[in-house]
Amino acid sequence: MSEPSATASPAASAGRLTVQAVLKTDVGLVRTENQDSATLTTPREEAGSHTGGRLMVVADGMGGHRGGATASRMAVETVKTTYLGNASDDVPAALREALARANARVYTESQSNAELRGMGTTTSALVVRGGEAWFGHVGDSRIYMVRGNEIKQLTDDHSLVATMVREGLLTTAEAENHPRRNVLQRSVGAVGVAEDVDADVRGPIELQEGDVFILCSDGLHGVVKEEEMIGPAKLPIARAAEELVRLALERGAPDNVTVIVAKVIRADAPSEETETDAVLFDDTIREERRRAAAASSTPPTPTAGAEVGETPRSRPPTR
């Protein structure tokens, strides 16, 4: 995970809208490895970006024990560096370029490394700049927007069953338990996809103070219904993220769970979180620090099952 931050973006004048955000990730209760990746840009990074705005990205990898984690990490890194390095002030164009480059990088790596053949990833990116928001999306991770007591899914799932629902071939209830519900029709870097990816890029969305965005992998939305997300979205953002992950764990968390919660606030409003809190709130980073501290104080003790190879829980290329 790259530089999570929960501090508000800087504003030129009081009264303008900005956004603060926090991410939380959890391996879940079934998987042995977290194949999700996510990032938030920091205020310093935003200040050095010509395009500007707060960038948030969630990716959910697939393609076996090693491939899934590699694909999601590559996609998140590439989207971030490409967006921040874009010379245009056109947010949609910057998002399209970022997703195209992520797709090309993951695809090229999968073709050049036999161990990574067939890897791919979902990628959902949101940019909030001033009083507007844009998003770019490939796959079945989701971006929701909560306004008042209403929630709206902004992204369309690029999955087989979602297409069947849109075409009237399945009901939503039937899709939830369909045996091919995890089969994607679009993903970043998947085998059989050309080096240009068919990404949905939409916006601008006019924002209001108090709007909340939820970016998540299917480890959340696969077990927590969207109407159940409204209550947590009204909490301070760190508590909101924690509560959403708790709900997924309560339902058995069969997949990795990653969520970013972002709240639109006035630029002169006090921040709910600090950057340090956001970093420590990320379970992945917290666990890495715990292990590093343990390794420095005591020699490692071999344990049964410490070597984890391919498992039945690793996703096939089709998800």
Please give the sequence-ordered ranges of beta strands (E in DSSP) within the chain, or none if there are none: 17-26, 36-40, 54-62, 120-129, 132-138, 142-147, 150-153, 200-206, 212-216, 257-266
Confidence band (pLDDT; 50, 70, 90) for 191? low
Split at pLDDT 50, 70, 90, the class of 66 is confident
User: Is the pLDDT assigned to residue 303 strictly greater than 70?
Assistant: no
Q: What is the mean pLDDT of the segment spanning 254-274?
A: 89
- pLDDT tens-digit readout, 74-94: 999 999 999 999 999 999 999
Categorize the per-residue pLDDT at 240 as very low, low, confident or very high, splitting at 50, 70 and 90.
very high
How far is the C-alpha of 256 from the C-alpha of 275, rounded, in Å?
24
Lowest-pLDDT range, 4-13, 53-62, 307-316? 307-316
pLDDT band (50, 70, 90) for residue 147: very high
Kindly report the length of the chain: 319
Instruction: Inform me whether the pLDDT recorded for 31 exceeds 50.
Output: yes
State residue 180's pLDDT score. Answer: 73
How would CATH label the architecture of 17-151+187-292?
Answer: 4-Layer Sandwich (3.60)
Other beta carbons less than 10 A from residue 313's beta carbon: 15
* Better-predicted residue by pLDDT, 287 or 22: 22
Tokens of 205: 């969305």
Amino acid sitting at position 285: I
Of 241, 280, 9, 32, the closest CA to residue 133 belongs to: 9
pLDDT in tens, 50-64: 999 999 999 999 987
SS3 at position 257: strand
Name the pLDDT band for 15 (thresholds 50, 70, 90): low
Residue 47: is its pLDDT beyond 60?
yes
Distances (CA, A) of 31 to 131, 158, 267, 276: 39, 23, 40, 28
Q: What is the pLDDT of residue 281?
A: 44
- The three-point CA angle 229-180-95 to 5° equals 55
Q: Measure Cα distances from 318 to 191, 199, 220 in Å.
A: 10, 18, 20
Q: Is the model more confident about 277 or about 294?
A: 294
Mean per-residue pLDDT, 118-125: 96
Q: Quote the crossing angle between the two packed helices 91-112 and 64-85, to the nearest 10°.
A: 150
The mean pLDDT value of the chain amounts to: 83
User: In which residue are the tokens 């164009």 written?
Assistant: 93
In the chain, how many H helices and how many E strands?
10, 10
Is residue 155 helix, strand or coil?
coil
When comparing pLDDT for 269 and 150, which is higher? 150
Residue 310: which pLDDT band, with cuts at 50, 70 and 90? very low
Query: Which strand ranges, in their side-by-side order, compose the sheet holding 132-138?
Result: 36-40, 54-62, 120-129, 132-138, 200-206
